[in-house]
Structure 1
Amino acid sequence: MQRTTITYVLCLIWLCQLCFGSIEKTSKTLKCRCDNCKNGTCETEGYCFTMVYRDGQHKKYGYRCLKNIFFNPKDKRTDYCKAEGVANYSTFATACCDDSDFCNSGLVLLLPIDDLQESKWGTVQIAVAIAVPCLVICLVVLILVKCWHNKRLHIPLPPVEDSMEAPNLPILNSRVSLKYMIEITTSGSGSGLPLLVQRSIARQIQLVDTIGQGRFGEVWKGRWRGENVAVKIFSSREERSWFREAEIYQTVMLRHENILGFIAADNKDNGTWTQLWLITDYHEHGSLFDYLGKTTLDVPSMIRMALSISTGLAHLHMDIMGTQGKPAIAHRDLKSKNILVKLNGTCAIGDLGLAVRHDVTTDTVDIPLNHRVGTKRYMAPEVLDESMNIEHFDSFKRADVYALGLIFWEIARRCNVGGIYDDYQLPFYDAVPPDPTIEEMRRVVCVEKQRPNIPNRWQSCDALHVMSKLMKECWYHNATARLTALRIKKTLSNYRALEEIKM
């Protein structure tokens, strides 16, 4: 009986094992993503497991299967399936799923610290979303206030010559001076204003009065926003001269205190005629020719005037090397009518329509195609007899120096020393008629080799003696023997320095 009972119990246990074993065998098998398994896949009758942890600044994930041995029989979940915290100084989080095959591939987990960071970022984004529109609104308000303020300060332009060509709409604040505008827009290049600004200024100029007349056209005094400007008006037949002069004036690094300040080039066309405008600084004393005709000079004024002219010519002749350098330029029409006298008694060289530039890379001269040949009275001997080598740039500079010597003679005659001075006269006034021909000048200068007369009394005055010595070295018949503009500048500068020491 006892043995039968034991046998019954054993059979019962065997039947239970057999029953449960068959259940286990028929339970569902789940495929999961596994990063440490062959083919990246594992199979389990439990759960698919996912873990995320921080490795430095990066988050990394781990995937595998969670076996039955980890199951809690009561809730069929384990502490492995939902956990987070800190381990080995790194945050981590875990999760499980059994919804479908590879369900752990799509689980997205947040580390404990990520929640805090996302919260912080959310606050920052809200702050930015509020701050940016506020800043934009403030900026718009400031612009509107500025526009209203400028409108209150607006001073109407004076009536202009042609309302269609010179609109009354200002492009700049009326308090901005022309000089300041040129300084802030040249950036050291000396090339004047940008073309767009040039055109805008030119169309707002009111012509006031004519102040000069020449073969090219007229020179007018003009007004722009309360400032005086000089407007040189070329006829349409002189377009080549107008274009050439504007081109030379806009040479890089040309701007200099002893070169006439260029402002703008423009044209005006009303349908029946065209005017070509060249706008420059205005100097109320006018040309050196006009100034000497009505004014005498003391010794310091004479030296200051001669030094400023030679300084301007030396700057023209100078070749400034570099990426923003200036080519050497020869004037070719230097005379007292093409030099302007400034309020401080110094001079500025103008009228660059016949100027030529030296291309140092090819050693060539860009001679303009222009029918004008300069002023015959101031032509050097080699120009008059056509023996000058026009392929050699220094020839043009030496011809300028010859003309400079004649200008010095005009200035020195008006120097008042002890109440004695000479009337103003043009060079060779006593040898040729007022409008001499090339043949007449060639006869006097090349054949007879005459030069303007130097009075004996000049030798008794140190300053006039220095000037007379310079003149003679400027108008040598042999061009290669003449001084350079730079040497003349240094000689006058040294003389003035010595005189200042004596005083």
Structure 2
Amino acid sequence: MAESARASSFFPLVVLLLAGSGGSGPRGIQALLCACTSCLQANYTCETDGACMVSIFNLDGMEHHVRTCIPKVELVPAGKPFYCLSSEDLRNTHCCYTDYCNRIDLRVPSGHLKEPEHPSMWGPVELVGIIAGPVFLLFLIIIIVFLVINYHQRVYHNRQRLDMEDPSCEMCLSKDKTLQDLVYDLSTSGSGSGLPLFVQRTVARTIVLQEIIGKGRFGEVWRGRWRGGDVAVKIFSSREERSWFREAEIYQTVMLRHENILGFIAADNKGKGWAWIQHSQMEDARENNGTWTQLWLVSDYHEHGSLFDYLNRYTVTIEGMIKLALSAASGLAHLHMEIVGTQGKPGIAHRDLKSKNILVKKNGMCAIADLGLAVRHDAVTDTIDIAPNQRVGTKRYMAPEVLDETINMKHFDSFKCADIYALGLVYWEIARRCNSGGVHEEYQLPYYDLVPSDPSIEEMRKVVCDQKLRPNIPNWWQSYEALRVMGKMMRECWYANGAARLTPCLSVQEDVKT
């Protein structure tokens, strides 16, 4: 019992010492000066806005005096502060409220607890209640701890399975819906701008990457798996954050979804450690102090890849050529079109249209992709939203007015006309691979015979603006109606005067006629 009393006496001692070291503050108008046993550097004096306190207790036969300041905020409860209470057997404490009033000496307590003066009045019922209460509480705590541990174990095992297997089966979304169903439902039931952000993050963070299918200056493209289906994951370098943000922003434009524009699914930024970094990403990771932020853009996967890859591998029939040309023009027409209304769509110009930025779908139609350089037109304010991106379009596909810097950057139609010029070059690439009567050309890039493989702007300007040259249209195309019409459309897309060029709608009409 004496040992218990001695141990319990340490608590008030620690509390009093802490109060003495922290209770003093700046001396104000009503500051109180008190004697302080622990304030050696302050000449054994402390200041407070509350009370002076003196306490004496007996520990191991030795008297211990404590004099200190008690801040006003710690004088609780009012009228009978905790710090000012005495214990006849353990400590004698006194609080006062005048300068140095705590210099008085107090009676030293015995240091031993007294035996209870009266026998316990607890009956059997009270004792059972006292014992059963803590036992029940302990039992309840054990059950709660067990449930929490079991929950965390299940979450941990689920996460392990998500990392090793196709995670889509564990999604909180309806299991009987494919990704295409989910995108269709959520995009057509609302504004048409795509999936809600929380669904985007849920999808993006449960995709399993399978293989790399492409590389570019922005980063890498992977084929991923979600719910047993394939998706394309464009992973941007951390240095291309502006391009990632801009492309995600454009893809989520209201009412942009169209069968001939690449289907956007999700965007997410995922922080990774060293273990997740590919060898090609090490340099960027070192620049970021050993961490790597993956900027993901998830879209529909098209196994044929880009139109550039497709035309390199295959020739096309006349019907296939028309389908490619018509769908490319249809996608560009929707991109350029402004839809007025509360759920309207701004006009968008691509600014980097080329065969490598157009994908070929399984049904042989085109889907326009890579909107990182796109600009939007606000019809209400007649302003153009141009992203602060240092990248320019592909030099080989630049329109004459872009090459000689005469394009009117304040007029949205100027950007649309530049897209039409590039579309004409894409038509030329498609038509060259058309197999008519067993005759076709080898695949080549536009101006392959006039400029180097990586031409400069000056080299392109000299050919396109000064010499006014355009890709060669073979004479034998005149023998086939479809190729003859394609050649006519190309020339009308290549005019030096942008205002004289075809619009995507007229291009579609010409395709339909053929």
User: In the alignment, is residue 492 of structure 1 matched against residue 493 of structure 2?
Assistant: no
CA shift at 1:190, angstroms? 2.6
Q: Distance in 2 between matches of 1:334 and 1:182?
A: 25
Flag the 1:181–1:366 CA change in 2: closer, same or farther, 3 A: same
> Counterpart amino acid of 1:227?
G
**1:314 corresponds to:** 333
> Could you tell me which residue of structure 1 aligns to residue 371 of structure 2?
352
The TM-score normalised by the length of structure 1 is 0.65
What is the DSSP-based 3-state SS (H/G/I as helix, E as strand, rest coil) of the residue aligned with 2:330?
Answer: helix
Q: Indicate how the Cα distance of structure 1 residues 161 and 290 shifts in structure 2: closer, same or farther if over 3 A, else same.
A: farther
Q: Verify the 8 A CA contact 1:210 1:221 in the aligned structure 2.
A: yes
* 1:430–1:177 distance in 2 versus 1, CA, 3 Å: same
Residue 297 (structure 1) aligns with: 316
Indicate the residue corresponding to 2:392 in structure 1. 373
Aligned to 1:249: 251
1:206 aligned to 2:222? no
- Residue in 1 aligned with 2:175? 174
Q: Do structure 1's residue 455 and structure 2's residue 474 form an aligned pair?
A: yes
Any conservation in 2 of the 1:318–1:329 contact (CA below 8 Å)?
A: yes
Higher deviation after alignment, 168-177 or 354-363: 168-177
Q: Which position in structure 2 is the counterpart of 1:332?
A: 351
Name the residue aligned to 2:231: 229
2:219 corresponds in structure 1 to 217
- 1:491–1:174 CA distance, 2 compared to 1 (3 A): same
Instruction: Give the whole-Å Cα distance in 2 for the aligned partners of 1:250 and 1:436.
Output: 34
User: Secondary structure at 1:192's aligned position in 2?
Assistant: coil
1:364 aligns with 2:383: yes
Aligned equivalents of 2:171, 2:216: Cα separation in 1: 32
Deviation at residue 484 of structure 1 after TM alignment: 0.7
Task: Output the CA distance in 2 between the equivalents of 1:180 and 1:157.
Answer: 25
In structure 1, the gaps of 5 or more residues are: 1-155, 496-503
Aligned residues: 338
Query: Secondary structure, in 3 states, of the residue corresponding to 1:264?
Result: strand
TM-score, scaled relative to structure 2: 0.64
Change (3 A) 1:478 1:197: same
1:83-482 matched pairs, under 5 angstroms: 169-186=170-187, 187=189, 189-271=191-273, 272-482=291-501
| 1:321 to 1:252, Cα distance in 2 relative to 1, 3 A | same
How many angstroms does 1:173 deviate by? 3.2
Offset from partner CA, 1:61-111 (integer Å, 9 cap, x none): xxxxxxxxxxxxxxxxxxxxxxxxxxxxxxxxxxxxxxxxxxxxxxxxxxx
Report if the CA contact (8 A) 1:159-1:206 is conserved: no
Which secondary structure state, in structure 1, belongs to the residue aligned with residue 231 of structure 2? strand
Q: Aligned in 2, Cα 1:199/1:443: closer, same or farther, shift over 3 Å?
A: same
- Residue 494 of structure 1 deviates from its aligned partner by 2.8
Distance 1:236 1:320 in 2: 34
Q: Which AA in structure 2 matches 1:183?
A: Y
Displacement after TM superposition at 1:174 (Å):
3.0
Q: Is the 8 A contact 2:169 2:175 kept in 1?
A: no
What is the correspondence of 1:27-66 to structure 2 with a 5 Å cutoff?
Answer: none
User: Which residue identity is paired with 1:420?
Assistant: V
Query: Residue 413 of structure 1: CA displacement?
Result: 0.2
Identity %: 67
- Structure 2 CA distance for partners of 1:249 and 1:157, relative to 1, 3 Å: same
Instruction: Give the aligned partner of residue 483 of structure 1.
Output: 502
More moved, 241-250 vs 168-177: 168-177
For residues 188 and 378 of structure 1, what CA distance do their matches in structure 2 show? 37
CA offsets 1:295-317 (integer angstroms, 9 cap, x no match): 01111110111000000000001
Superposition RMSD on alpha carbons, in Å? 1.7
One-letter code of the match for 1:172? L
Deviation at 1:492, TM superposition (A): 1.0
Helix, strand or coil at the partner of 1:193: coil
Deviations 1:390-428 (A, max 9, x none): 000000000000000000000000000010000000000
* 1:343 partner SS: coil
Amino acid at match of 2:205: R
1:305 aligned partner, one-letter code: L
Q: Equivalents in 2 of 1:158, 1:178: separation in Å?
A: 23
Relative to structure 1, is the Cα distance of residues 432 and 200 closer, same or farther in structure 2, using a 3 angstrom cutoff?
Answer: same
Alignment-mate amino acid for residue 437 of structure 1: S
The one-letter code matched in structure 2 to 1:180 is D
Deviation by residue 1:417-462 (Cα, 9 ceiling, x = unmatched): 0100000000001111111111111111111111000000001100
User: What is the identity, as a one-letter code, of the residue corresponding to 2:425?
Assistant: L
Quote the offset at 1:355 in angstroms. 0.4
Q: 1:409 to 1:159 in 2, by over 3 A?
A: farther
Structure 1 residues 473 and 161: CA distance shift in structure 2, 3 A? farther
User: Tell me, what secondary structure is at the counterpart of 1:285?
Assistant: coil
Contact 1:377–1:441 at 8 Å: present in 2 too? Answer: yes
Mapped contact 2:473–2:487 kept (Cα < 8 A) = yes
| Matched letter for residue 178 of structure 1 | L
CA contact (8 A) 2:169 2:227 kept: no
Partners of 2:168 and 2:228 within 8 A in 1: no
Larger Rg: 1
Partners of 2:253 and 2:340 in 1: CA distance:
13
- Looking at structure 1, the residues matched to 196 and 164 of structure 2 have their Cα atoms a distance apart, in angstroms, of 23
Would the aligned equivalents of 2:225 and 2:231 in 1 still touch at CA under 8 Å?
yes
- Cα distance between partner residues in 2 of 1:161 and 1:419: 51
Deviation at 1:490, TM superposition (A): 1.6
CA distance in 2: counterparts of 1:476 and 1:183, whole angstroms: 39
CA contact (8 A) 1:191 1:252 kept: yes
What pairs with 1:10-29 in structure 2 (closer than 5 Å)? none
Q: Are the equivalent residues in 2 in contact too, given 1:314–1:486 (CA < 8 A)?
A: yes
TM-superposition CA deviations, 1:103-132 (whole Å, max 9, x none):
xxxxxxxxxxxxxxxxxxxxxxxxxxxxxx
| Structure 1 residues 310 and 158: alpha-carbon distance in aligned structure 2, compared to 1, 3 A threshold | farther
Amino acid at match of 2:498: A
2:351–2:418: 8 Å Cα contact kept in structure 1? yes
**Alpha-carbon separation, structure 2, partners of 1:241 and 1:158:** 33
CA distance in 1, matches of 2:482, 2:360: 21
Specify every segment of 5 or more residues in structure 2 that has no aligned partner in the other structure, as ranges. Answer: 1-157, 274-290
On the 8 A contact 2:212/2:221 being kept in 1, the answer is yes
